[in-house]
Chain A
Amino acid sequence: MAMNKNATGYTFLFSIVMVLLVGTALAFTSLSLKPLQKQNEADKKMVDILGAIGITTTRENAKNDFPTFVKERLSIDSEGNVLNITSGDVDSKDASDPFNLDVKKDYRSKKPASELSFPLYKCENEGESIYVIPVAGSGLWGPIWGFVALKSDMNTIYGAKFDHKTETPGLGAEIKDDFFSDKFQGKQLRDAAPYFTIEKGGRETDIHSVDGITGGTITSVGVGEMMNRTLSIYQLYFNSVINAQANNNGY
């Protein structure tokens, strides 16, 4: 049976078989590895949250270290009202656990803020209580995200940790390096938007801004954008906390 490699029928047959085989192989790989990948992502998230409050840990230890430092996990709505408070070990199957809120997915979904809830982590390190806010936004090529930690005055930045999916290595990708995130430590937020700015090279930076990354302008702009957009929502919650504290002190 001699096959004519150039016949149209053969070409079609070949493409159909190829697509089926490749599709099956990819779907099988993806599905069978999904649980492990999910677990890795959750571990990484814990490592990053702890990283934002200055604790270095490994993927293996993250599960144990996380509840030690993160005392409460809150979710708030876009008006700043608390929806849920959870503490203790993380249960990856419990949908009501604020830890399982996916801010990256919410950002992609482009839903209005009023339909979303926002996670907030109340942590404690060296006797100081720290609020960790997850942020998500867009860089030059794809998603960027991170965690911004605020001191108990809800205004001074305790630490920050950023990450990205596909930013240019050596340029925008450097937002994940310590030299960049270290610059945020001790900076303060402005009272009104823009709460914080990332400046282009050569410009003066003050207590409310940091120097962006050379050659990574759009990624740096993305970092500033996601911080300001997210902080404007958490600010409502912080204001209500500050007001409550002021009322308590008044009596």
Chain B
Amino acid sequence: MGTENKTITPKRESLFSKKNRKLLKDPLGDSNPITIQVLGICSALAITVQLQQAVIMSLSVLFVMIGGNVIVSLLRNLIPDRIRIIVQLVIIASLVIIVDEVLKAYQPDISEKLSVFVGLIITNCIIMGRLEAFALANKPGPSVFDAIGNGMGYAWVLLVVSIVREIFGSGAISLPGMGQVKFLPQDWFISSGGFYENNNLMILPPMALVVVGIIIWIQRSRNEALIED
């Protein structure tokens, strides 16, 4: 039996082969889920008012994406084509709900922070998009890399947008566990006789779209191959 196992092993790909590196790197730049594929915009608008929320959301999406990609990839030869979207949705939704239930029991404080995001994670188009476009046709190994790549691609845009919005909207920066740190001196503000005022427009959802737009602009002006006619 031992020899049997050995003979079927084809030449193994190294962990950081060119292909795997590409899976990790591409979604960060030229095939970024938010700025190029324009997926997951809804959550990018909703939760980028504060940095700490963007961090929690990014970590949750990364986690669910890895879990979903691996499960779908393992089941890829069993899932009937006609109901594959439903199957993917069920996998994502149950994964998220189980995680939330466990956190509610053992880590109530984290769960409280996460609670508002649960719905947003389930409906995040990036997760579904990766299950459909990648995990359904690839082995679990590459699927993990694809999930990490896309999760990070989603995360950096979220982090940049939320840093910009929080600095100009609230004059502060917040990190999970540290709370919100207001770094502008209080007497700069008009309310206490200064000259500065936070820009409330930054807090409102449309500004997220504008900031994402600026990122897209910078990205496309640096790589003209991305410009569509």
Q: Could you say which residues of chain B place their CB within 8 Å of the CB of A171?
A: 49, 203
Is the Cβ of A44 less than 8 Å from the Cβ of B83?
no
Is the Cβ of B80 less than 8 Å from the Cβ of A169?
no
Q: Confirm or deny: B50 has a beta carbon within 8 angstroms of a beta carbon on chain A.
A: yes
Q: How far is the CA of A43 from the CA of B97 in the complex (A)?
A: 22
Is the Cβ of A14 less than 8 Å from the Cβ of B94?
no
Is the Cβ of B81 less than 8 Å from the Cβ of A26?
no
Interface string of B39-66 (1 = CB under 8 A from A): 0000000111110010000000000000
Whole-angstrom distance between the Cβ of A127 and the nearest chain B Cβ: 31
Q: How far is the CA of A5 from the CA of B86 in the complex (A)?
A: 15
Whole-angstrom distance between the Cβ of A130 and the nearest chain B Cβ: 25
Whole-angstrom distance between the Cβ of A179 and the nearest chain B Cβ: 10
Chain B residues touching A, range: 35 or more
Which among A6, A22, A169 is the interface contact of B116 at CB below 8 angstroms? A169
Whole-angstrom distance between the Cβ of B86 and the nearest chain A Cβ: 8
A to B contact number (C-beta, < 8 Å): 82
Whole-angstrom distance between the Cβ of A13 and the nearest chain B Cβ: 9
* Interface window among A30-38, A102-110, A118-126: A30-38
Is the Cβ of B50 less than 8 Å from the Cβ of A6?
no
Which among B49, B83, B98, B109 is the interface contact of A26 at CB below 8 angstroms? B98
Q: How far is the CA of A18 from the CA of B50 in the complex (A)?
A: 38
Which among B90, B109, B205 is the interface contact of A22 at CB below 8 angstroms? B90
Is the Cβ of B49 less than 8 Å from the Cβ of A40?
no
Q: Could you say which residues of chain B place their CB within 8 Å of the CB of A5?
A: 77-81
Known: A14-B78, A215-B203. A44 touches B116 (CB 8 A): no
CB pairs A–B below 8 angstroms (7 shown): A5-B79, A6-B80, A6-B82, A11-B82, A14-B83, A44-B108, A165-B115
The 10 closest A-B pairs by CB, nearest first: A170-B49, A36-B105, A33-B105, A40-B108, A11-B80, A169-B53, A22-B94, A29-B101, A169-B47, A37-B104
Q: Which residues of A pack against B, CB within 8 Å?
A: 5-6, 10-11, 14-15, 18-19, 22, 25-26, 29-30, 33, 36-37, 40, 43-44, 59, 165-171, 173, 214-215
Q: Which residues of B pack against A, CB within 8 Å?
A: 46-50, 53, 77-83, 86-87, 90, 94, 97-98, 101-102, 104-106, 108-109, 112, 115-117, 119, 200, 203-205
Apart from A5-B79, A40-B104, what 7 extra A-B contacts exist at CB < 8 Å? A5-B81, A11-B83, A18-B87, A29-B97, A40-B108, A170-B48, A171-B49
